[in-house]
Amino acid sequence: MKVLVPIKRVIDANIKVRVKADESGVELNNVKMAMNPFCEIAVEEAIRLRESGHAEEVIVVTVGPAQSQETLRTALAMGADRAILVEADPAPEPLAVAKLLKAVVEKETPGLVLLGKQAIDGDNNQTGQMLSGLLGWSIGTFASHLEVDDAAVRVTREVDGGLENIELVPPAIVTVDLRLNEPRYASLPNIMKAKKKPLDMLTPETLGVDVSPRLETIRVIDPPARAAGARVTSAQELVDKLRNEAKVI
Amino acid sequence: MSILVIAEHDNTSLRPATLNTVSAAVVLGGEIDLLVAGGDCQGAADEAATVAGVSRVLMADDPALTDGLAENLAPLIESIARDYSHVLAPATTYGKNLLPRVAALLDVQQISDISAIESPDTFVRPIYAGNALATVRSLDAVKLITVRSTAFDAAGQASAAPIEMVSGSQEAGLSKFIGEELTRSERPELTTADIIVSGGRGMQSSENFEMLESLADKLGAAVGASRAAVDAGYVPNDYQVGQTGKVVAPDLYIAVGISGAIQHLAGMKDSKIIVAINKDEEAPIFQVADYGWVADLFEAIPQLEEALDSPSP
Ligand SMILES: Cc1cc2nc3c(=O)[nH]c(=O)nc-3n(C[C@H](O)[C@H](O)[C@H](O)COP(=O)(O)OP(=O)(O)OC[C@H]3O[C@@H](n4cnc5c(N)ncnc54)[C@H](O)[C@@H]3O)c2cc1C
Ligand SMILES: Cc1cc2nc3c(=O)[nH]c(=O)nc-3n(C[C@H](O)[C@H](O)[C@H](O)COP(=O)(O)OP(=O)(O)OC[C@H]3O[C@@H](n4cnc5c(N)ncnc54)[C@H](O)[C@@H]3O)c2cc1C
C-alpha cells in the first residue's frame, strides 16, 4: 500500500505574525517558514507505517509556491520516498487544494491519505474532510491513535467530549491531531540523501483543476489588543478584586 | 433568505453550541430550519422545537445516523442544502468533521469558525491562532459556515415550532462507530462555563491537578488545561484550551502555571476577566491578565481557597 501525505508550508509556529499595513494579509516576506506542525505528525506516522511493514511507499505532496520544495525536501529527509509539487502561488483555498489532491490520488492510487487536521495559518480544518467527500472515501478526523491492516483502519479521535473509536473501510483519509506521535528530526546524512530523491512538478492546468478562489479577502486586521492589568500580591486582595471590582465571583 | 442550522446533539438532547449557532442564524435574518439528524432522536428534536428563532425542525431519524458519522450524514444534508441560502453548523469537533464534507459535495468553499457577521455574504474569522482577523466575502451561491460559539450568545426558548420528518439517509458502509471514552464530570462544561480554572505544565502531576479541581468546585467552575499539561498526561485531551483545543470565553479565566504561549492565548483571550498565577514575573500570560499574581502556585492555590471561604472585609 502507498500512503499519500499532503503537507503545507506555513509561517513557523514560533513566529508572531504581523498584519500588513494595507490590511491585505499578513507579512510573509523575510519570515521564517516551516512545515505545518500537524503535517509533520502525518509524515512521521506514514514513515512509521512503512517501517512497521504496513506501507510500501510514502509520497508527500504539496500545493504551493516554488519555495514549497524546501518543505518537501524536509519530508524526504525525515524519510518519505518521493515528492510532488503542484505549483500554485499563493496556495489556493481548501476546496481547490482538495480537488488537486483528488487528481493526485487518482494518479497515485494510495490506500491511505494522511493529512494534518488543520494548517496553523488558515486554521480552516477542511482539506481532509473535503478530499474524503470528493473521493467518496471514509474519513477519520483528529486522530490520536491509528492502526492499519488490510481489512480496516482503526482510528481513535480526539473529540470535544473525550475520545471516540471508529473503524474505516480502506481506502481511507485520516487527519492527525497533536498527540498521535512525536515527529523525528532529520539527520544530516538523511538531509543529504533527500536531495537525490525524486521530486515531480505538476500544475493545476496539467491536472485539469480550476483553482479560482470562491472567497474574497476584504481585509486582514489585528485583533483587539488586551492590555495587561494590575498586579496583586495576596489571595485576599485577588478575591476582593474579583468580588468587588470585576464582580465575577 | 432561508437558513439551515445543523444541530449537534446526542439523540436525546441538544449540545449547547447548537444554541449559539442558531443565534448566528438570527443575526443573518430569515427563516431558520434546525436539522436534527440522528437515530431515535425524538428527544433532541423536541428540544430543538423550543429554541427561540427556529421556524421549523427537520428531523431525520435513521439507524445510520445514530453515531453522527460524516459519511452517512453528508449526503442527506447535501440533498436538502440547495434549498437554503446558508447552512450553519457549530465549530465543534462535530461540525468541523462534518461540514467540509458537505461543502465538497456541494462544490462550496466553506467559511470556518466565524466570529462576526458583517452582511449575508461577508464574515469575520480569526486566522493564525487569532493573531489576525480576516474579513472574507463568499462568492458561492450557498454559504456553508461553521460558527465560533463563544462569539454568539445562546438562543433562548420559545413556544414549540413544528417538527417535519425528512428521509433519504443511507448507510454508506464506509465507517463504523466502535465506542467512546467520554470524560464524565459533575462540573460545568468548558465551553459554556462562567468560570474556568486552567492548569499548565507548572502543575507537575495529575495529583496536583486535584488542587485545581477543589478550587474549581468552590467557584462552580470548569477545569481546563494547556497542551503541555495534556501532553504530559495530567488531564484528558478534552481539557485542552487553545488554537487546536477548545475556544472558551468565560466571565473569569484563572490560568495557573501556564506561560501564555500564543496557541494557548488563542483559546482564551476573549475571556472577560483573566487571572494569571505564575512564579515567573516575565511570563507572557501576564500581558493579557487583568489580575496577575506572581506566586508559587503550590502556596497560592490553598491560600486562594481559604480567602474564598472568608467573607470580604
Ligand atoms: C490572509 C489570507 C489570505 C488568503 N488569500 C487567498 C487568496 O487570495 N487566494 C486563495 O486562493 N487563497 C487564499 N488564502 C488561502 C490560503 O492560502 C490557504 O491555502 C488556505 O487557507 C488553506 O487552508 P488551510 O491551510 O487552513 O487548510 P486546512 O484545511 O486547515 O489544512 C489541513 C491539512 O490539509 C493539507 N493541506 C492544506 N493545504 C495544503 C496545500 N496547499 N498543499 C498540500 N496539503 C495541504 C495539510 O495536510 C494540512 O495539514 C488566504 C489565506 C489567508 C489566511
Ligand atoms: C501547532 C501547535 C498547536 C498548539 N496548540 C496548543 C493549544 O491548543 N493549547 C495550548 O495550551 N498549547 C498549544 N500549543 C503549545 C504551546 O505552544 C505551548 O507549548 C503550551 O501552551 C505551553 O503550556 P504551559 O504554559 O502549560 O507550559 P510552559 O510553557 O512550560 O509554562 C509553564 C509555566 O508554569 C510556570 N510555573 C512552573 N512552576 C510553577 C509554580 N510552582 N508556581 C507558579 N508557576 C509555575 C512557569 O513559570 C511557566 O510559565 C501548540 C503548539 C503548536 C506548535
A69-115: pLDDT as tens digits: 999 999 999 999 999 999 999 999 999 999 999 999 999 999 999 99
Chain B positions touching A223 (Cβ under 8 A) are: 126, 130-133, 269
For residue range A182-232, list pLDDT tens digits in order.
Answer: 999 999 999 999 999 999 999 999 999 999 999 999 999 999 988 889 999
- Is the Cβ pair A124, B112 closer than 8 Å? yes
The residue among A238, A240, A245 with the most chain B CBs within 10 A of its CB, best to mutate, is A238
Ligand 1 center to residue A34 CA distance, Å?
14
What pLDDT does residue B311 have?
Answer: 75
For residue range B28-65, list pLDDT tens digits in order.
Answer: 999 999 999 999 999 999 999 999 999 999 999 999 99
Cβ B225 under 6 angstroms from ligand 2 = no
Distance CA A129, CA B229 (A): 29
Buried b (16+ CB within 10 A) or exposed e, B45-82: bbbbbbbbbbebbbbbbbebbbbbbbbbbbbbbbebbe
Q: In what order do the strands lie in the sheet with B291-294?
A: A230-232, B291-294, B273-278, B252-256, B195-199, B222-225
Nearest-Cα distance to chain A for B310, in Å, is 9
- Is the Cβ pair B104, A222 closer than 8 Å? no
Q: Which of A67, A62, A7, A79 is CA-nearest to residue A40?
A: A7
Chain A positions touching B150 (Cβ under 8 A) are: none
- Is the Cβ pair B238, A11 closer than 8 Å? no
When the pLDDT of each residue in chain A is averaged and rounded to a whole number, the result is 97
Distance CA A135, CA A101 (A): 10
Residue B312 pLDDT exceeds 70? no
For residue range B177-188, list pLDDT tens digits in order.
Answer: 999 999 889 999
When the pLDDT of each residue in chain B is averaged and rounded to a whole number, the result is 96
Residue B313 pLDDT exceeds 80? no
Distance CA A127, CA A176 (A): 12
Cβ B298 under 6 angstroms from ligand 2 = yes
Task: Count Cβ atoms below 10 Å from residue A124 Cβ, excluding itself.
Answer: 24
Chain B positions touching A221 (Cβ under 8 A) are: 132-133, 135
* Span B226-233, average pLDDT: 97
* Span B70-92, average pLDDT: 97
Coil, strand or helix: which one is B4? strand
Ligand 2 center to residue B287 CA distance, Å?
15
* Span B253-267, average pLDDT: 97
- Is the Cβ pair A223, B126 closer than 8 Å? yes
Chain B positions touching A157 (Cβ under 8 A) are: 93
Q: Which cell goes with B287?
A: 500581558
DSSP state, A65?
-
Distance CA A137, CA A125 (A): 18
CB proximity list for B197: less than 8 A, separation 6 or greater: B212, B215, B216, B219, B221, B222, B223, B224, B254, B256
ipTM of the complex: 0.95
Query: A residues 196-225 near B, CB within 8 Å?
Result: 213-223
For residue range A151-177, list pLDDT tens digits in order.
Answer: 999 999 999 999 999 999 999 999 999
Cβ B242 under 6 angstroms from ligand 2 = yes
Ligand 1 center to residue A87 CA distance, Å?
14
- Is the Cβ pair A162, B237 closer than 8 Å? yes
Ligand 2 atom 15, closest CA: B227
Among the partner residues A122, A167, A179, nearest to B178 by beta-carbon distance:
A167
What pLDDT does residue B170 have?
Answer: 87
Distance CA B260, CA B257 (A): 9
Name the percent of chain B lying above pLDDT 70.
99
Task: Count Cβ atoms below 10 Å from residue B292 Cβ, excluding itself.
Answer: 24
Distance CA A117, CA A105 (A): 18
* Span B273-280, average pLDDT: 98
The residue among B13, B113, B127 with the most chain A CBs within 10 A of its CB, best to mutate, is B127
What pLDDT does residue B310 have?
Answer: 85
What pLDDT does residue B169 have?
Answer: 82
- Is the Cβ pair B137, A215 closer than 8 Å? yes
pLDDT band, very low/low/confident/very high, at B13 (cuts 50, 70, 90)? very high
Residue B226 pLDDT exceeds 70? yes
* A74 in contact with B, Cβ within 8 Å: no
* Span A140-156, average pLDDT: 96
* A168 in contact with B, Cβ within 8 Å: yes
pLDDT band, very low/low/confident/very high, at A240 (cuts 50, 70, 90)? very high
Nearest-Cα distance to chain B for A200, in Å, is 27
Residue B164 pLDDT exceeds 70? yes
Bridge partners, B37 (sequence order):
B60
